[in-house]
Amino acid sequence: MMDHQSTVRSTWKRPPLLFTNTLWRRLIYTGALIYLVLAVQTVEVDWQRVYLGLERGWRFIEGFLVPDFTTRWRDIHEGLIESLTITLTSTVAGILISVPIGIGAARNLAPAPVYLACRGIITLSRSFQEIIIAILLVAMFGFGPFAGFLTLAFATIGFLSKLLAEEIESCDRNQIEAIRATGASWWQVVNYSVQPQVMPRLVGLSLYRLDINFRESAVIGIVGAGGIGATLNTAIDRYEYDSAGAILILIIAIVLVVEYSSSYIRRWVQ
């Protein structure tokens, strides 16, 4: 009997991560469950439309299983070339602009006014999703690949500048101070101390952004920013699910090629 009691006393029970008071914990969990049930009830579901959607969804799966690459091949080819062009040009332009902004946004290299200005640019660029920026730019410049190019270049600036600035701020301080101790100028400190430390990371991030930009080019094309997304949207609007399936398969294939190529290049650089 004593052994059993000592076993019970010695049994450890993990304390709750949140709300250590049992009464408050039960009240909060019950309130959250009630809110979830009430929130689900506010969702209006048209079951007839769901039924029709299932039928269309099955037709789309059939088209995906038997893709048609030939009927709309000319449109698909033009859309892919346009998407690849948008992806490559916007990535290069975004990298060229991101490097000085990333250096200016590094607290250990830039004076306070430059730091605040560059951080403001990064914050502005990261405030909106690509699809929202694409809608605004399509409204400003009209339908076509130019709006897609500007959208992806703008998004690349926010993504790459922020990560590059953080990489520079985490550089080995001893190497930077050693170069400064020789009487080197600011540019020489960047060139001989910071650049060797961050270059492998910059190459890896640039390739990763290239991969993201191709996928995003398919998304923003749906709102009129050109590329293979516009071709995909047209195929779906025409109920040509076999052509849409062919486009999706090509997008997956290109993303896989870019992914494996970028992984190889990153390993080679590092």
Question: What pLDDT shows up at residue 114?
Answer: 92
Q: Which amino acid is at 222?
A: I
CA–CA dist 15, 19 (Å, integer):
10
Overall pTM surpassing 0.85 (yes/no): no
Question: What pLDDT shows up at residue 204?
Answer: 83
DSSP E strand boundaries for 200-266: none
Counting Cα atoms < 13 Å in the Cβ hemisphere of 21 gives: 4
Question: What pLDDT shows up at residue 142?
Answer: 84
Question: What pLDDT shows up at residue 156?
Answer: 92
Note whether 220 and 233 are within 8 A (CB). Answer: no
- Residue located via tokens 């040009």: 89
Question: What pLDDT shows up at residue 92?
Answer: 93
Q: pLDDT under 70 in the chain at which residues?
A: 1-10, 16-19, 266, 269-270
Note whether 60 and 178 are within 8 A (CB). Answer: no
Question: What pLDDT shows up at residue 69?
Answer: 83
CA–CA dist 141, 131 (Å, integer):
15
* 3-state DSSP assignment of residue 69: coil
* 3-state DSSP assignment of residue 263: helix
Cα dihedral 223, 229, 233, 236 in deg (nearest 10): -150
Structure tokens belonging to residue 105: 């946004």
Question: What pLDDT shows up at residue 173?
Answer: 85
* 3-state DSSP assignment of residue 152: helix
